[in-house]
Amino acid sequence: MLNIVRSMLLVLSCASLLVSSQAQQKRVSPQRAASPLGYEPELVSTAEADDAAAKENAGRTGGESEIESLQRTVRRLSAQVDRLSEELNALKTQQRELFDLERLSRAEQRADSLRTQLTDVQSREADLKARLEQLEYDLDPASIERRAALIGTTRPEEVREQIRRQLESERARLRSQLELLERRRQGLESAIARADAEIERLRARLNEADDEATSGSIESSDGEQNSQRNAPPVTQPTRPPRSYVP
C-alpha cells in the first residue's frame, strides 16, 4: 500500500511539472513585425489573415484543451492519492483495534481463571477455619478428659497428654496451611484487580476508537457535500476577436 501511494505521488508531481511547462510555452506570444514605411497603401486581402487567425485560435483552443485535460488528470491522481492515504490510515486503525480486542479477550479469560482460583482458595480456607475451631474445642481439658475416658486405660494422664499433643500438632499444621492460603488469596485478589483495570482501559480505548471512526465518517460525508456545493463552475475558453490588417 505504501509503494502504491509513493508511485501515485511521483506521477502526480510529473504531471504538475508538465502542465506548468506547457502553460509557460503557451504564454509566449509571437511579436508582430513592423510594417515598412514609405510605401503607398494598397488593398490587401484579409482572407489569408482570417485563415491564419482561425488556425491560431484553433491551436490555442487545442492547447488549452490539452492543459485542461492534464489538469483533470492531476486532480484525479491527487484524489486517488488522498483516497489511498485514507484507506491506509483506516487499515492501521483496524489492525490496532483487532490487537486491542485480542488483548481484551485474553485479559477477560485471565480474570475469569483468577476468579475461579480465588473461589477454590476461599472454599479451602473456610474448611480449614472450621476445622481449627473444632480443634480449639477438642483441646479444652474437659473434652480431652471425656475422650480419654472412652479409651479405658490404667494410665489416664499419659493418654490425655498423648491426645493433647496430637491435637496441637494438627492445629499447627492447619494454621500453616491457612497462612499459605491467606497469602494465596491476597495475591489472587491483587491479580484480579490488575486484570479488571486492564479490561476497563482496553474497553475505554475501543469505545474511543469507535467514536472517532463514527465522527470521522460524518465529517468526511459533510466535507464531500460542501466541496461539491462550493465547487467553481467550469469556464469555457473565450475566443479572441479577429484582427484585420488595414
Assess contact for 184 and 124: CB atoms under 8 A: no
Assess contact for 163 and 92: CB atoms under 8 A: no
Q: Give the DSSP H/E element, type plus range, for residue 128.
A: helix 47-138
pLDDT at 75 over 80: yes
Quote the CA–CA distance of 148 and 143 in Å, as a whole number: 9
pLDDT at 175 over 60: yes
User: What pLDDT, on a 0 to 100 scale, did the predictor assign at position 34?
Assistant: 45
User: What pLDDT, on a 0 to 100 scale, did the predictor assign at position 60?
Assistant: 59
Q: Going by C-beta distance under 8 Å and a sequence separation of 6 or more, which residues neighbour residue 145? A: 160
The interaxial angle of helices 156-229 and 141-151, nearest 10 deg, is: 120
User: What pLDDT, on a 0 to 100 scale, did the predictor assign at position 244?
Assistant: 38
Q: Mean per-residue pLDDT for 231-239?
A: 47
Q: Which residue is listed with cell 483441646?
A: 139
Quote the CA–CA distance of 195 and 186 in Å, as a whole number: 14
Assess contact for 149 and 185: CB atoms under 8 A: no
User: What pLDDT, on a 0 to 100 scale, did the predictor assign at position 122?
Assistant: 96
Q: Mean per-residue pLDDT for 74-85?
A: 88
C-alpha cell read off for 29: 506570444
Quote the CA–CA distance of 122 and 135 in Å, as a whole number: 20
User: What pLDDT, on a 0 to 100 scale, did the predictor assign at position 46?
Assistant: 55
Quote the CA–CA distance of 22 and 63 in Å, as a whole number: 8
| Higher pLDDT, residue 240 or 181 | 181
Average per-residue pLDDT in the chain? 77
How far, CA to CA in Å, does 158 sit from each of 15, 137, 174? Answer: 109, 20, 24
Assess contact for 5 and 81: CB atoms under 8 A: yes
User: What pLDDT, on a 0 to 100 scale, did the predictor assign at position 48?
Assistant: 58
User: What pLDDT, on a 0 to 100 scale, did the predictor assign at position 239?
Assistant: 44
Please state which of the ranges 2-6, 43-47, 98-102, 119-123 shows the lowest mean pLDDT. Answer: 43-47
User: What pLDDT, on a 0 to 100 scale, did the predictor assign at position 198?
Assistant: 94
Assess contact for 70 and 20: CB atoms under 8 A: no
Residue 66 pLDDT grade (very low, low, confident, very high; cuts 50, 70, 90)? confident
Quote the CA–CA distance of 76 and 12 in Å, as a whole number: 9
Residue 89 pLDDT grade (very low, low, confident, very high; cuts 50, 70, 90)? confident
| Higher pLDDT, residue 63 or 158 | 158
